[in-house]
Amino acid sequence: MATIGVITLEMRLDESHSLKDKRHVVKGLKDRLRNRFNVAVAEIDYQDLWQRGLIAAVTVASDRAVAERTLDSVEKDAAETLGPLLVEATVEWLG
């Protein structure tokens, strides 16, 4: 049975002064995670707020250990990329 893992990453973008500023950060992170870790990534909330962002990355694996390693890597990369802008990371498991 496949394991599906979802990590949500909440960002606080205090230096953002427009939706364009925010989009630059969010899109950059989404593209980076998608390309580096082969995960599906989407902005899932706060689309109309300049200084908050919430994205989710999803992985599917045949084994939970593989999915855990992938999501751990995603979280570490996001933390390194965003630094203090990353407010919270939460992992959920489906299946």
Mean pLDDT of 68-83: 97
Domains of the chain: 3-94 (3.30.70.1120)
Amino acid 1: pLDDT: 82
Residue the block writes with tokens 């909440």? 10
CB 18 within 8 A of CB 49: no
* pLDDT over 90 at 87, yes or no: yes
The model's pTM: 0.93
**pLDDT, tens digit (0-9, with 9 covering 90-100), for 14-69:** 999 999 999 999 999 999 999 999 999 999 999 999 999 999 999 999 999 999 99
DSSP structure string for 21-53? HHHHHHHHHHHHHHHHH--EEEEEE-TT-SSEE
Closest C-alpha among 13, 48, 5 to residue 29: 13
